[in-house]
Structure 1
Amino acid sequence: MSDTHAHSVAFVRTSEIPAAPPPYAATGPVKWMRENLFATPANGLLTIAALYVIWVVLAGTMPWIANGIWNTESLAQCREVLDGAVGACFSVLTERWNQLLFGFKYPPEYYWRPMLALLLFFVAAAPVLFFDLPRKLLIVTALFPFAAYWLIWGGTILTPLVALAGFAAGAAVYQRLVAGSFAMGFFGAIIAAFIVWTVGGWLIPASASQNALLGAVPSRDLGGFMLNMMLGVTCVSLSVPLGIALALGRQSNMPLIKWICVIFIEFIRGVPLITLLFVASVMLSYFFPPESTLDLFLRVVIMITMFSSAYIAEVIRGGLAALPKGQYEAADSLGLDYAQAMRLIILPQALKISIPGIVNIAVGLFKDTTLVSVIGMFDIVGMIRGPILASTEWNGVYWELLGFASVLFFIVCYGISQYSQWLERRLATDHR
């Protein structure tokens, strides 16, 4: 072989060349900004305009926040300390935090009770929100409403025990009657629970509250953000099962049940919530005997639950309508009755489809609890508009108080939104 032919053979490597890192412009923050902020000239202009607006807002608010005063006793003292400089008067938060959170009548020595109820709420909600946990923990969830009632309102422990007995009787009647008819089981459970509550109320002696372990607190003394949380949690928890029952009743083959649900849903959806709150405050007591008094908190819970359940019923009805007919036929082919088919096959799929709509209504409902301030209930907005701003020390403080309320509502609503997104990803079995 000649030397010329030997040099014409290509060299073959015996090892791979190490991979070179990608160009800096094709990875990291530069890549993200190019794809999301400056993908097109129009997007680039909008990004620059948005950055300018953010800069203007931060340039005006950051000095106001950074120069905030936290240790004065009135707005006048804040202005003296600032001496003409720009700054917030956060002292109203340090002075009135207890009223913003608990109202101005809830006894300070009992603040630990609603805080303990809040901690128990997270423990009780965990088995429902995160279904990978052991099902035995649902016992804590079932007992939580009665324990929370006793902690917040106090008084005799016989009251929550009677309520628990009523729900137990209703559950037993439901299990016996639901095999024949879902509607019969549902309404039979309500009647059984009502009978137990009524009889138990007669048997509780009037002197029981005087010898109670926890001091009694009337509902008119509830207030602050605690009242918003109580209304939001209670009404959402009650409106979801009631909305499911209304959605199923609207699709029922029984004309009476169907038209009752249709009339209820359409009437409630056609009336503003603030009108229902005025009805709860003024007119609802006329539907009860003259000697009986229905607590205002309970009246508001009834009206808000009715309002939200009508909207949730329509969301769930949309989820039921989105299911193909084959799902119903599959349940029939398995020999399942109506209650079993709904519980095991139809409702799980319909509720998964309805998650965004239900969460949207829950977030809106929680924010709408501030409307109770117009009927004389001192929630956090009612406290700001009423006792705090009416005082001579803090008359004129608006942004600090409203900003604090906005932060609290944002934290709760953002948490609900993030949980719903996690739940949608967790239940996205059709994309696996």
Structure 2
Amino acid sequence: MADIHFVRKAMIEEQEPPAATTGVAGWIRENLFSSPLNAVLSILSLGFVVYVLSALLPWVMSPTWSAASLNECRELIGGGHGKACWGVIRERWLQLMFGFYPKELYWRVVLDFALLLVAVAPVLFNTLPRKMLIFSAIYPFLMPWLLWGGSIWNPVVAAAGFVLGFLAHKYAKPVLGGLTAVILAFLVPVLWWFLLAGPVADGLASVLPLALETVESRNFGGFMLSITIGVVAIAISLPIGIVLALGRQSDLFIVRSLSVGFIEFIRGVPLITLLFVASTLLNIFMPPGTDFDIILRVIIMVTLFASAYMAEVVRGGLAALPRGQYEAADALGLDFWMAQRLIIMPQALKISIPGIVSTFIGVFKDTTLVSIIGLLDPIGLSNSIRADQAWNGVVWELYGFIALMFFIFCFSMSRYSMYLERKLQTGHR
């Protein structure tokens, strides 16, 4: 019997994949019901979520936004306790946001934080025009003037100190050498700020008085205070942490010893202790009659605390780099600072992104500790609100609102860090 062979002359048309493997059904099958164990766990988890939402949603969906007191809330919900009293948020949300800042000056706070978004945008997203970085450099001097007010010449002469330090370094380096130029770049601004800035600002104010209404620090509070402390501490702690990390790895004994001593001392002391030092002890070491703003003292201590932790995060990134990167920089003939700026530090910071953002989130959440030293952050304001007889007994609503606001800020930072990691990903998956 002869063999019969069949050769296909036409290809079969491509068919659609099974419906159970694509779309929503495919995702559910792959992620929730891929095995008997996963199916059981998914069903149990779904039941737990339904149980929680069935108890939570009636509490949240409470018709008490118009209430003016806790008693009115109870009347609106029929005398029960199973629903939230949102009237306290409607009545006190401005206080939770701005503290006791004058109401007619709220526009300054809103403008200040709107400009903050403009200032950080070119730093966070390099697709924006680089010229916007000029405003990013100006904003640190504009922010305190908008919040605290006073003469416009105070931030101007403060910025002039940095300009003088830059000019001193630029013109001293070719003549006196790099180390002397760095020392002058540090000494010239310090001498300017301590000796000349005050008289120059007063003289300019007498000639051209441009000023905003002054607001005392005791009027600061709520999320405005937390954001102010958090943003300043986050922005300053990163460069200080980088310097400390480099100092800890330095071959110079004095520089390494000072860096190690500072980092270990700060990391070994609780933040609340540093805040008590800022609020009570720091004025003892100042000259008599010195008025050192309490918020400025807190910002300094929180910044130093964050810088010590940031230094260890950056040092971990530096330690993770292969030795070949340093050797490649030496082979290219780069000096120390050029090697750090162009080769070492960009890679170390990319490796350290998760730790850096975790430190940022921790610093922002730690701003609530200032309530212990008498500053009225959102937690401190919630205590004063509950001290009002009309709202005595309201707890979960206030803390829930505060937690939601902190979650929005911290979750945004976390999402941005993940976006940045994906953008800078250069390895193979």
| 1:356 equivalenced with 2:351 (yes/no) | no
1:315-338 deviation line (CA, Å, top 9, x unaligned): 111111111111111111111111
2:107 aligned partner: 112
Q: 2:34 aligns with which of 26, 32, 39?
A: 39
| 1:315 equivalenced with 2:310 (yes/no) | no
Deviation of 1:66 after TM superposition, in Å, equals 1.3
| 1:369 equivalenced with 2:383 (yes/no) | no
Q: Which amino acid is 2:55 matched to? A: G
In 2: Cα distance, 1:70 partner to 1:181 partner: 68
2:98 aligned partner: 102
1:265 aligned partner: 263
In 1: Cα distance, 2:112 partner to 2:266 partner: 32
Deviation of 1:151 after TM superposition, in Å, equals 1.1
Name stretches of at least 5 consecutive residues in structure 2 with no aligned partner. Answer: none
Contact 2:64 2:87 in 1 (8 A): yes
- In structure 2, the CA distance between the partners of 1:405 and 1:29, relative to structure 1 (3 Å rule), is same
2:402 aligned partner: 405
- In structure 2, the CA distance between the partners of 1:49 and 1:171, relative to structure 1 (3 Å rule), is farther
Contact 1:373 1:381 in 2 (8 A): yes
- In structure 2, the CA distance between the partners of 1:410 and 1:184, relative to structure 1 (3 Å rule), is farther
What is the TM-score with the length of structure 1 in the denominator? 0.92
In 2: Cα distance, 1:190 partner to 1:37 partner: 60
| 1:172 equivalenced with 2:200 (yes/no) | no
1:331 aligned partner: 329
1:278-299 deviation line (CA, Å, top 9, x unaligned): 1111111122112212111111
2:88 aligned partner: 92
What is the TM-score with the length of structure 2 in the denominator? 0.92
In 2: Cα distance, 1:382 partner to 1:399 partner: 15
- In structure 2, the CA distance between the partners of 1:329 and 1:18, relative to structure 1 (3 Å rule), is same
In 1: Cα distance, 2:114 partner to 2:295 partner: 22
Q: How does 1:214-253 map to 2 (within 5 A)?
A: 214-253=212-251
2:284 aligned partner: 286
1:194 aligned partner: 190
1:139 aligned partner: 134
In 1: Cα distance, 2:36 partner to 2:75 partner: 50
| 1:428 equivalenced with 2:425 (yes/no) | yes
In 2: Cα distance, 1:313 partner to 1:177 partner: 30
1:158 aligned partner: 153
Q: 1:394 aligns with which of 391, 394, 398?
A: 391
In 1: Cα distance, 2:65 partner to 2:351 partner: 48
In 2: Cα distance, 1:11 partner to 1:328 partner: 63
Provide the secondary structure at the position in 1 that maps to 2:389: coil
In 2: Cα distance, 1:307 partner to 1:161 partner: 28
Deviation of 1:398 after TM superposition, in Å, equals 1.0
Contact 2:275 2:298 in 1 (8 A): yes
Aligned pairs, number = 424
In 2: Cα distance, 1:245 partner to 1:57 partner: 48
2:67 aligned partner: 72
1:380 aligned partner: 378
